[in-house]
Chain A
């Protein structure tokens, strides 16, 4: 009936990349990022819990206070991939450092596997890859991984060797064990970082901007590693400002902006799944058919010798396609448009920036109240 019909892959090219990632992961099919196979949340164990977390940095010279994180509530469940999305300087790294006990919270509480970050025991089952990691460049990779293994509490030599070999294998650096790390490229350093994070076979993997600065191949390899980690039963928490990566990999997403967690939940909940519009590209459309279809078409334009029709909803599509086909038109493509995480992200970040600009500024609670009252009174005058 429709010989030239090609249904374009939804949204953008990265969906195709998603399919590749799944193929690469040892032939196992991943649940779709948008529709994760999840148990009911109530029964799932919480791995990371942050309640009303806040962090203020005080400048040592001017004593000016700046909120890095404000009133953040966060829950990460066992065996899920949680994406922490936010623009640069939003407070992603600060939150991660708070979780790991590298920073002390100004207020609020954190639990990792039920233990506070002040206790080193909370990090026993955690692997962490910092942003732009740098390691001891005088060490060979093997020496470094052995050091990390001992610091993670592995005692027996055989166990250390086994874990080091395994993490070298997983990170694809098995041939570089005896190379000094000063000779590593950026991509290799990132993989070395992954190897050290995996050396204690952690149950929770925290990755800070793992894909930034990597080339496309490096990014794909890293995505595969995250998928593999999750298949091995690890919980993965990673921050990123690359939306495509988050959309591909994550079960749940948290969007942070200016230190505030604006939204969090499964991608499926954040992004409206229904098709918002459908675009049909056809050639040789008879004038009569065009007139007949007018009530269903929201926008019509001509590109070269093809006609692009934008329909308001999915329901009209079958009807329009049927009419076009029977009138002898050649249909080139049909593209459903859904809302993307990117549009949710951009909307959220812009909205909160706007609301900040119109009054709710980044001052301490109470500190800005006088200023706001004054401003309100002033505007009344």
Chain B
């Protein structure tokens, strides 16, 4: 109940933040512009629309997380609103969970708006409705959940700017983390190999959530991939949230 109240408030804050609207408008303009430019694509227009649409989902999602999510917890500490919330009978982990769920809610709204627009655009070009696009969109949403939990983690102990940088770094590295294993196999030193393997397991493997290549070329995402990626994403998110809650519950609010 208290978690939901905090989540609702965070969601409301996101909705009243102009940044979210700028992001939504930009992504919609981008999506529609692919249709306008489609005559230039020599019959590949729909592929471009799907590719740009799904990439925009991931890109603008992570932008929203960096703009709004990186300050999720720290902004409350900075503005001292945290003193009012935590002086009520609210446990620290409830606060963290509420903040996460509120941000996840706002991202869900963003993803739904963008996917619906994408489907409408596809329908108008006579190629919809496209179910695999929705599945790929769902996987991107799970990726955004993982990134939100990471933003919450950093935000719970570092400043807004720092946590934005860290979150973005995780996003970039997360997309290359499977290369870490390949790289480790080629290393001579066993210590370096172990470090690489450790990093691979600590960093999220965000490429698991990237099914754009399959969907754009008209393929379907296998159910096992959907299930495995979703389970991995949710478990990773839970792990990071538990860590955030532990760090946050030891924090002093001077």
Interface residues, chain A, CB within 8 Å of chain B?
57, 97, 100-104, 120-124, 126, 128, 130, 132-136, 138-139, 143, 147-148, 150-153, 155, 193, 196, 200, 206
Of the A-B pairs whose beta carbons lie under 8 Å apart in the complex, a sample of 23, sorted by A's number, is A57-B254, A97-B253, A97-B254, A100-B86, A103-B252, A123-B87, A123-B89, A124-B89, A126-B87, A128-B87, A132-B80, A133-B80, A134-B79, A136-B9, A138-B16, A143-B12, A147-B9, A150-B5, A151-B85, A152-B89, A153-B2, A155-B1, A196-B84
What's the nearest-Cβ distance from chain B to residue A93, in Å? 9
A124 to B254, CA, bound (A): 22
Report A-chain residues with C-beta under 8 Å of the C-beta of B5. Answer: 147, 150-151
A200 to B13, CA, bound (A): 24
Interface residues, chain B, CB within 8 Å of chain A?
1-2, 5-6, 8-9, 12-13, 16-17, 79-81, 83-91, 250, 252-254
What's the nearest-Cβ distance from chain A to residue B11, in Å? 12
A176 to B209, CA, bound (A): 48
Report B-chain residues with C-beta under 8 Å of the C-beta of A134. Answer: 79-81
Cβ–Cβ contact B2 & A102, under 8 A = no
What's the nearest-Cβ distance from chain A to residue B234, in Å? 27
Report B-chain residues with C-beta under 8 Å of the C-beta of A135. Answer: 81, 84
Report B-chain residues with C-beta under 8 Å of the C-beta of A132. Answer: 80
Cβ–Cβ contact A130 & B87, under 8 A = yes
A139 to B79, CA, bound (A): 14
Cβ–Cβ contact B90 & A120, under 8 A = yes
Cβ–Cβ contact B88 & A148, under 8 A = yes
The one of A100, A126, A136 that contacts B13, using a Cβ cutoff of 8 Å: A136
Report A-chain residues with C-beta under 8 Å of the C-beta of B83. Answer: 97, 102, 128, 130, 133
What's the nearest-Cβ distance from chain A to residue B237, in Å? 24
Residue of B nearest to A136 (CB): B81
A139 to B17, CA, bound (A): 12
Cβ–Cβ contact A148 & B84, under 8 A = yes
Cβ–Cβ contact A150 & B86, under 8 A = no
Residue of B nearest to A55 (CB): B252
What's the nearest-Cβ distance from chain A to residue B87, in Å? 4
What's the nearest-Cβ distance from chain B to residue A43, in Å? 28
The 4 A-B residue pairs with the shortest CB-CB distance in the complex, in nearest-first order:
A150-B5, A128-B87, A151-B88, A120-B89
A67 to B9, CA, bound (A): 37
The one of B13, B79, B81, B91 that contacts A120, using a Cβ cutoff of 8 Å: B91
- Known A134-B79, A136-B13, A139-B12; judge A100-B2 contact (CB<8 A): no
Report A-chain residues with C-beta under 8 Å of the C-beta of B90. Answer: 120, 151
- Known A138-B13, A150-B5; judge A100-B81 contact (CB<8 A): no
A130 to B85, CA, bound (A): 11
Given contacts A130-B80, A153-B1, 9 further A-B contacts (CB under 8 A): A97-B254, A120-B89, A123-B87, A123-B88, A135-B84, A139-B12, A147-B9, A150-B1, A153-B2
Report A-chain residues with C-beta under 8 Å of the C-beta of B86. Answer: 100-102
Residue of B nearest to A121 (CB): B89
Cβ–Cβ contact A153 & B89, under 8 A = yes
A206 to B84, CA, bound (A): 12
Residue of A nearest to B80 (CB): A134
- Known A147-B9, A150-B1; judge A103-B253 contact (CB<8 A): yes
Cβ–Cβ contact B81 & A150, under 8 A = no
Report A-chain residues with C-beta under 8 Å of the C-beta of B13. Answer: 136, 138
What's the nearest-Cβ distance from chain B to residue A351, in Å? 29
Residue of B nearest to A123 (CB): B89
What's the nearest-Cβ distance from chain A to residue B68, in Å? 12
Report A-chain residues with C-beta under 8 Å of the C-beta of B250. Answer: 104
- Known A57-B254, A151-B2, A151-B6; judge A100-B87 contact (CB<8 A): yes
What's the nearest-Cβ distance from chain B to residue A164, in Å? 13
Cβ–Cβ contact B12 & A138, under 8 A = yes
Residue of B nearest to A196 (CB): B84
A225 to B21, CA, bound (A): 42
A265 to B231, CA, bound (A): 61
What's the nearest-Cβ distance from chain A to residue B19, in Å? 13
What's the nearest-Cβ distance from chain A to residue B81, in Å? 6
Report A-chain residues with C-beta under 8 Å of the C-beta of B2. Answer: 150-151, 153
A150 to B84, CA, bound (A): 13
Report B-chain residues with C-beta under 8 Å of the C-beta of A206. Answer: 87
What's the nearest-Cβ distance from chain A to residue B78, in Å? 10
What's the nearest-Cβ distance from chain A to residue B107, in Å? 19
- Known A135-B81, A136-B81, A138-B12; judge A104-B252 contact (CB<8 A): yes
Residue of B nearest to A100 (CB): B87
Cβ–Cβ contact B253 & A152, under 8 A = no
Cβ–Cβ contact B84 & A102, under 8 A = no
Report B-chain residues with C-beta under 8 Å of the C-beta of A122. Answer: 89
What's the nearest-Cβ distance from chain B to residue A142, in Å? 13
Cβ–Cβ contact B84 & A130, under 8 A = yes
Residue of A nearest to B13 (CB): A138
Report A-chain residues with C-beta under 8 Å of the C-beta of B254. Answer: 57, 97, 103
What's the nearest-Cβ distance from chain B to residue A94, in Å? 8
Q: Identify the interface centre among A97, A103, A151: most chain B CB within 10 Å of its CB.
A: A151
Report B-chain residues with C-beta under 8 Å of the C-beta of A138. Answer: 12-13, 16-17
Cβ–Cβ contact A133 & B84, under 8 A = yes
Residue of B nearest to A154 (CB): B1
Report A-chain residues with C-beta under 8 Å of the C-beta of B88. Answer: 123, 148, 151-152, 200
What's the nearest-Cβ distance from chain A to residue B10, in Å? 10
Report B-chain residues with C-beta under 8 Å of the C-beta of A97. Answer: 83, 253-254
Residue of B nearest to A148 (CB): B88
Residue of B nearest to A199 (CB): B88
